[in-house]
Amino acid sequence: MRHRRPERASQYQSATFRDLQGRLAANVRALREQRHWTQEEAAHRTKMATQLFQRIEAATVNLTFATLARLAHGFGEDVLQLLAPARHPARRPRGRPRAT
């Protein structure tokens, strides 16, 4: 895993960053499930490693524009669709306690 610069740590925890990450994760998952694709098939169609695709759906990766473009092309969707407000929120990251 790539190490983040300490001076940028707050950017990755900002509400804006987390919102965009969550939108992308939820929209990618929804599109994949609508097509009845496995994560492996979706990764193949978007020309990326399965592990990277899984990290996108888990909202644990900071994407490049190139990766975002590969997702849009592989799903045949406009990139705006991938970043639109999600109808279904992304699943909560593993290892974090649930709010009760």
In a domain, 62, yes or no: yes
In a domain, 32, yes or no: no
**Does residue 21 register a pLDDT over 70?**
yes
Check: CB of residue 90 under 8 Å from CB of residue 82: no
The domain total for the chain is 1
In a domain, 65, yes or no: yes
In a domain, 1, yes or no: no
In a domain, 14, yes or no: no
Q: What does the mean pLDDT of the chain come to?
A: 87
Range of the domain at 72: 38-87
**Token pair in block for residue 59:** 């909202």
In a domain, 66, yes or no: yes
The string of pLDDT tens digits covering residues 61-79 is 999 999 999 999 999 999 9
Check: CB of residue 27 under 8 Å from CB of residue 19: no
In a domain, 18, yes or no: no
The string of pLDDT tens digits covering residues 30-44 is 999 999 999 999 999
- Does 100 or 29 have the greater pLDDT score? 29
In a domain, 69, yes or no: yes
CATH assignment at residue 81 = 1.10.260
- Bin 36: left if φ > 0, else alpha if -120 < ψ < 50, else beta: left
